[in-house]
């Protein structure tokens, strides 16, 4: 049966990888809507190629520019703009599946809308589950759709847990693998530049998640994500550095058995899994050639040089709004680093200060989350004298 898809964040690294998989299966998938923040030309190019019914630009000032860019390419998609349009295309009755691939808490509202509407939710936007885990899980339950993780670690765990009964899951432990990022063996972190931080050894990704990988905050966010998606307490989630990025994560069962999911480091594999589940489709990813792999190695994360991992564990254990605060502070600090206003080594202390200064009650609604997020961002700007 033909699946109709909305891609939130179509012009990004995940959005483009998904479209690459989708283009290989025109008989299975059709695009209802593609969205972007401000890349009008890139969005119009995609609209001309994939012919969605609707193209949405989130920045409302760019609507007429988008309309003109579509017209000049002969693309027939309707141009829409603004945040309300993101929500509309996420919950439209014409859509079966929504890929949540916006970066940051900015993706929360349309992602929750898709969950509430019972769509199959392909979740890449980890910040949405970090800042509003309980609300997102409840929205998926109310909506009656299913959530399929795209993040490679969570996708790996989903694969390892497929067919495992609830009772056996309860005795299991999760082992998230991490590449260690570009600075695993580098000492002078003071002088790191944004381009160096974004040059990931194994994955090509957007700039925000690349910096998160370099600080290990990405793994911290993923610990919180795993806790919500698989109902696991912090003490049963472990992180191990595995520089080759071949094992994408593992599940250890009560009897000592460990299941691992392996593959080339290519996001098209988890995207194809989530798109086709429970079937399997060709993704375009290179086959693993075991004769070329050499050794697979593992080591403990260096928690002293990369304290962000522990801040995430602490936020998860603290509960309430701590993960929302952690995420907001991190987004502000990472953006400041990318803009050249903050040193790499100041990212972690900024987050620590904001976590110490803010302790709001647990959010009970999406509006609460947005308010806590806003306050934590303000605090992060104050803490580091980052205001322009």
Question: Quick one: DSSP state of residue 66?
Answer: H
Q: At closest approach, how far in Å is the CB of 31 from ligand NAD?
A: 14
Taking CB positions, which residue lies at the least distance from Mg ion? Answer: 151
Work out whether 225 is an interface residue with Mg ion (CB under 5 A): no
CB nearer to Mg ion: pick between 66 and 247: 247
Nearest residue to the partner ligand NAD, using Cβ: 12
Asked whether 201 and 107 are in contact (CB, 8 A), the reply is: no
Our CB check for ligand NAD shows the closer of 142 and 266 to be 266
Candidates 151-159, 185-193, 326-334, 378-386 — which segment interacts with Mg ion by CB under 5 A? 151-159
Q: Does 151 bind Mg ion (CB under 5 A)?
A: yes
Residue 245 or 350: the one with the smaller Cβ distance to ligand NAD is: 245
Residue 5 backbone phi and psi in degrees, to 5: -125, 140
Q: Which does 91 bind (CB under 5 to 8 A by kind): Mg ion, ligand NAD, none?
A: none
Record the tokens describing residue 352, joined without a space: 């620590």
Q: Return the DSSP state at 172.
A: -
Nearer to ligand NAD, 38 or 345 (CB): 38
Minimum CB separation from ligand NAD for residue 212, in Å?
Answer: 7
Q: Which residue spans within 37-165 are E strands per DSSP?
A: 54-57, 78-81, 97-100, 120-123, 147-149
First to last CA, the chain: 52
* Interatomic CA distance for residues 114 and 92, integer angstroms: 9
Within 10 angstroms of residue 386's Cβ, the number of other Cβ atoms is 17
CB of 38 to ligand NAD, least distance (A): 7
**Rounded distance, CA 119 to CA 167, Å?**
27
The two tokens of residue 291 are: 């004769």
* Site residues (vs ligand NAD, CB under 6 A): 9-15, 36-37, 39, 58, 101-103, 106, 124-127, 151, 203, 205-206, 209, 267
Both tokens of residue 90?
Answer: 């996420």
Q: Is 266 in the site for Mg ion (CB under 5 A)?
A: no
Kindly tell me which of 108 and 250 has the beta carbon lying closer to ligand NAD.
108
136 interface partner picked from ligand NAD, Mg ion, none, CB below 5 to 8 A per type: none
Q: At residue 32, what are phi and psi to the nearest 5 degrees?
A: -85, -50
In the region spanning residues 152 to 171, those forming contacts with Mg ion, defined by CB under 5 A, are 152-153
Helix (H, G, I), strand (E, B) or coil at 197: helix
- Least distance (Å) between residue 382 CB and ligand NAD: 22
Note the residues at the interface with Mg ion (CB under 5 A).
Answer: 151-153
């Amino acid at each position: 049966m033909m699946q109709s898809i909305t891609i939130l964040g179509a012009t990004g690294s995940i959005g483009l990888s998904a479209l690459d998989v989708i283009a290989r299966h025109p008989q299975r998938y059709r695009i209802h809507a593609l969205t972007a923040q401000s890349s009008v030309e890139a969005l119009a190019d995609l609209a001309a190629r994939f012919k969605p019914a609707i193209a949405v630009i989130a920045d409302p000032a760019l609507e007429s520019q988008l309309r003109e860019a579509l017209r000049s390419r002969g693309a027939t998609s309707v141009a829409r703009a603004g945040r309300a349009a993101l929500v509309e295309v996420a919950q439209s009755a014409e859509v079966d599946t929504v890929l949540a691939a916006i970066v940051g808490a900015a993706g929360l509202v349309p992602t929750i809308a898709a969950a509430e509407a019972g769509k199959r939710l392909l979740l890449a936007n980890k910040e949405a589950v970090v800042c509003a885990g309980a609300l997102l899980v409840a929205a998926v339950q109310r909506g009656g759709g299913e959530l399929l993780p795209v993040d490679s670690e969570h996708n790996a765990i989903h694969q390892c847990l497929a067919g495992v009964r609830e009772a056996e899951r309860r005795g299991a432990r999760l082992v998230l693998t991490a590449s260690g990022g570009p600075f695993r063996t580098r000492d002078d972190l003071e002088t790191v530049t944004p381009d160096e931080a974004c040059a990931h050894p194994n994955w090509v990704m957007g700039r925000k998640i690349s910096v998160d990988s370099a600080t290990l905050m990405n793994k911290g966010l993923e610990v919180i994500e795993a806790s919500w998606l698989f109902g696991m307490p912090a003490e049963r989630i472990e992180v191990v550095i595995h520089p080759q990025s071949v094992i994408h994560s593992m599940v250890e069962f009560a009897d000592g058995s460990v299941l691992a999911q392996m593959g080339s480091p290519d996001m098209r594999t988890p995207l194809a899994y989530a798109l086709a589940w429970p079937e399997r489709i060709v993704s375009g990813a290179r086959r693993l050639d075991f004769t070329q792999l050499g050794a697979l190695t593992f080591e403990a994360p260096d928690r002293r040089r990369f304290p962000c991992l522990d801040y995430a564990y602490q936020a998860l254990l603290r509960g309430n709004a701590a993960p929302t605060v952690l995420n907001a502070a991190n987004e502000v600090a990472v953006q400041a680093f990318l803009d050249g206003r903050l040193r790499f080594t100041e990212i972690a202390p900024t987050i620590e200060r904001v976590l110490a200064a803010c302790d709001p009650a647990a959010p009970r609604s999406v509006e609460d989350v947005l308010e806590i997020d806003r306050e934590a961002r303000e605090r992060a700007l104050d803490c580091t004298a980052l205001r322009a």
